[in-house]
Amino acid sequence: MSDYLQIARAYLRGTTVVVWYVLFLLLLVASAFEGELAHNQATFGDVLSSKSYMAMFTYFNACLLGVLLGDNIAHPWASVMPHYRKKHLVVTSLIALLFLGMPMLSLALVGTSDIAPTSVAMIFLTCSAAGLWTLYHPIVGGVLALPFLIFVMASPSSSPALAAFLAGTTPISSTILIAISLITIAAFAWRLLTLNEDKLEYANARIWGDLLCGRRQITASSQSRSPPVSLLHRLTDERSMRTPMRWKER
């Protein structure tokens, strides 16, 4: 359990907390005053409705999670430490559910938003998938960012299909999009589990991680960083326990 808490601290601090707090306040304000904003065309209230703020809340937070995931996994010791990558994936999945999915679902259930819970789940998964890939892989991220931008700027009042979709009257479409999003997120997790120095994402993750964490000398500082001391001790202990067993087998 101490390993998971230590990993969680690496994601719940600094820029991540500030961005989450600001976006969450915008989401609350947009949900509370959506009616007033909708009547004021000068402030684009009809376009940037609650679904737009939900999408931006999830997308930009997912971008940061993707950068931090890559920054923590793009290291030589990630391939040596037992279950190191899997633990990071488990922790970030729980963070996404608790700090991104739950606030959005709560707004839908308490009645501050006119978006159906199934549509909220779709927005959460699709925007999470797009955000995770955006800064992790430039090509895939660029392709997935376009539907996000179109969805954010689309107006429900001028599109009956979108309004019906947000109201939850098209469950088949929501189910298909949710399935595609889960497959996309699973592909992202698989790329992290198999990440090595020969892949484009490895160098990209180091660059974005250095920029986000404020490390000036990108190459030198990244190469000189070492794994946490506690993890090194644990690795040494596990190797010492396994060595006698190997001699017995021989």
Taking only the tens place, the pLDDT of each residue in 143-199 is 888 888 888 888 877 788 888 888 888 888 889 999 999 999 999 999 999 998 888
Please, which pLDDT band fits residue 216 given cuts at 50, 70 and 90? low
* Average pLDDT taken over every residue of the chain: 79
Domain that holds residue 49: 2-240
Range in 139-153, 192-206, 213-227 with the lowest mean pLDDT: 213-227
The per-residue pLDDT for 190 is 94
**C-alpha to C-alpha distance for 216 and 236, rounded to whole angstroms:** 32
Distance of CA 124 to the CA centre of its chain: 10
Comparing CA positions, the residue from 18, 20, 28, 25 lying closest to residue 50 is 28
Task: Yes or no: say if 18 and 99 are a contact pair by the CB < 8 Å rule.
Answer: no
> Could you tell me the two tokens for 223?
């190469």
Residue type, 153: M
The per-residue pLDDT for 128 is 94
Helix (H, G, I), strand (E, B) or coil at 15: helix
Is 248 a member of any domain? no
**C-alpha to C-alpha distance for 163 and 18, rounded to whole angstroms:** 32
The per-residue pLDDT for 244 is 43
Range in 1-10, 177-186, 241-250 with the lowest mean pLDDT: 241-250
Please, which pLDDT band fits residue 249 given cuts at 50, 70 and 90? very low
154 CB-near residues (< 8 Å, 6+ apart): 47, 162
State the CB neighbour count (10 A cutoff) for residue 148. Answer: 20
Given a cut of 80, whether residue 97 has pLDDT beyond it is: yes
The pTM score is: 0.78
The per-residue pLDDT for 47 is 53
Comparing CA positions, the residue from 35, 69, 27 lying closest to residue 52 is 27
Task: Yes or no: say if 126 and 177 are a contact pair by the CB < 8 Å rule.
Answer: yes
**C-alpha to C-alpha distance for 103 and 67, rounded to whole angstroms:** 22
Is 179 a member of any domain? yes
Is 250 a member of any domain? no
Is 82 a member of any domain? yes
Q: Look up residue 199 and give its DSSP letter.
A: S
* 21 vs 226: which has the higher pLDDT: 21
Is 208 a member of any domain? yes
Of all residues in the chain, the percent with pLDDT exceeding 70 is 78
Is 230 a member of any domain? yes
Is 196 a member of any domain? yes
The CA–CA distances, whole Å, from 174 to 115, 164, 167, 245 equal 12, 11, 11, 52
Mean pLDDT value of segment 70-86: 86
Distance of CA 132 to the CA centre of its chain: 5
Is 35 a member of any domain? yes
What DSSP assignment string belongs to 108-154? HHTTS--S-HHHHHHHHHHHHHHHHHHTT-HHHHHHHHHHHHHHHH-
Residue type, 22: V
Given a cut of 70, whether residue 44 has pLDDT beyond it is: no
Number of domains in the chain: 1
Residues 31-42 pLDDT 10s:
776 655 555 544
